Structure 1
Amino acid sequence: MMLLMFQNLSWAIYDSAVYIAHFLLAITCEIVPKSWVTIDTSRRRPQFMSQDPSICRQIIAGVIQHHQCQNIIPPNASRAIVNQPLKVAFGIDNAFTRSDDSEVSSFVTAARAKMNLSADGWFAVSRFARATTRNWSVKQCLLVTHSTSQLQGAMGSHINIASMAQILTLRVVLRVMFDKTDQDKICDMSILTLAQPINRAWIAQKGAQENQILRFEDDVPMQEALFDIFGTRNIMPGNNPLNIILPSFETMWRIVLRTVLEIGFVGSAEHPEWESSVVAFAMEPTKRQFELDQNPRLSSRSSSHGQNISSSPHDSMRETFSAKHLVFESLRLYVPTRRVHRAYQWSENAGSHETLSADIEGCHLRRDIWGDDAKEFNPSRWLNLTHIQKEAFMPFGCVPFECPAKPTFGPRMIGLLAGAILEAFGELSTDVGWRLVCDDKGVPEHLRSGQGLSLDRTAYGDLFLARAPGRHSMM
Structure 2
Amino acid sequence: MKAGKTVPEFGDNHELQERLLSIFENHDVLDPRDNPLNLILPGFETLWRIVLRFFMVLKTHGHEHWKETMISFAQGPASKQFKLRSDKDDISAEFLVKEALRLYPPTPRIRRAFQFPGSHQQQNTIIADIEACQTDPGNWGDDALEFNPARWRSLTSEQRNSFLAFGGAPFQCPASQDFGPRVIGLFVGILLDEIGDGWILGSDDVDEQRELDSGRRLRNDRDSYAGVYLVERVEE
Give the alignment's TM-score, normalised by structure 1: 0.42
Q: Does 1:454 align with 2:212?
A: no
Secondary structure at 1:341's aligned position in 2? strand
Give 1:319 deviation, angstroms: 2.1
Q: Distance in 2 between matches of 1:434 and 1:355?
A: 45
1:293 is aligned to: 85
Give 1:345 deviation, angstroms: 3.5
Q: Which of 258, 261, 267 matches 2:61?
A: 267
1:436 is aligned to: 201
* 1:363 partner letter: C
Q: Distance in 2 between matches of 1:255 and 1:323?
A: 15
Instruction: Indicate the percent of aligned positions where both proteins have the same amino acid.
Output: 41
Q: Which of 268, 277, 294 matches 2:69?
A: 277
The answer to which structure has the higher helix fraction is 1
Q: Distance in 1 between matches of 2:38 and 2:183?
A: 19
* 8 Å CA contact 2:2, 2:196 repeated in 1: no
TM-superposition CA deviations, 1:61-119 (whole Å, max 9, x none) = xxxxxxxxxxxxxxxxxxxxxxxxxxxxxxxxxxxxxxxxxxxxxxxxxxxxxxxxxxx
Secondary structure at 1:405's aligned position in 2? coil
Secondary structure at 1:465's aligned position in 2? strand
Q: Does 1:138 align with 2:3?
A: yes
1:358 is aligned to: 128
* 8 Å CA contact 1:437, 1:466 repeated in 2: yes
Give 1:407 deviation, angstroms: 0.8
Q: Does 1:258 align with 2:53?
A: yes
* 8 Å CA contact 1:341, 1:356 repeated in 2: yes
Q: Does 1:378 align with 2:148?
A: yes
* 2:44 partner letter: F
Q: Distance in 2 between matches of 1:455 and 1:141?
A: 31
Secondary structure at 1:361's aligned position in 2? helix
Give 1:441 deviation, angstroms: 2.1
* 2:82 partner letter: F
Give 1:181 deviation, angstroms: 4.0
Q: Distance in 1 between matches of 2:144 and 2:212?
A: 17
Give 1:180 deviation, angstroms: 6.1
Change (3 A) 1:467 1:320: farther
TM-superposition CA deviations, 1:268-302 (whole Å, max 9, x none) = 2xx2100000000000111121111221xxxxxxx
1:414 is aligned to: 184
Matches within 5 A, 1:42-61: none
Q: How large is the RMSD of aligned CA atoms in angstroms?
A: 2.8
Higher Rg of the two aligned structures: 1
Change (3 A) 1:456 1:409: same
Unmatched 5+ residue regions in structure 2?
8-15
TM-superposition CA deviations, 1:430-451 (whole Å, max 9, x none) = xxx1122221122121012233
Q: Distance in 1 between matches of 2:81 and 2:40?
A: 28
Q: Distance in 2 between matches of 1:320 and 1:260?
A: 20
Secondary structure at 1:413's aligned position in 2? helix
Give 1:141 deviation, angstroms: 8.2
1:469 is aligned to: 234
Matches within 5 A, 1:70-469: 136-139=1-4, 181=30, 245-246=41-42, 248-263=43-58, 265-268=59-62, 271-295=63-87, 319-346=89-116, 347-348=119-120, 350=121, 352-427=122-197, 433-469=198-234
* 1:260 partner letter: F
Secondary structure at 2:77's aligned position in 1? coil
Change (3 A) 1:245 1:281: closer
1:123 is aligned to: none
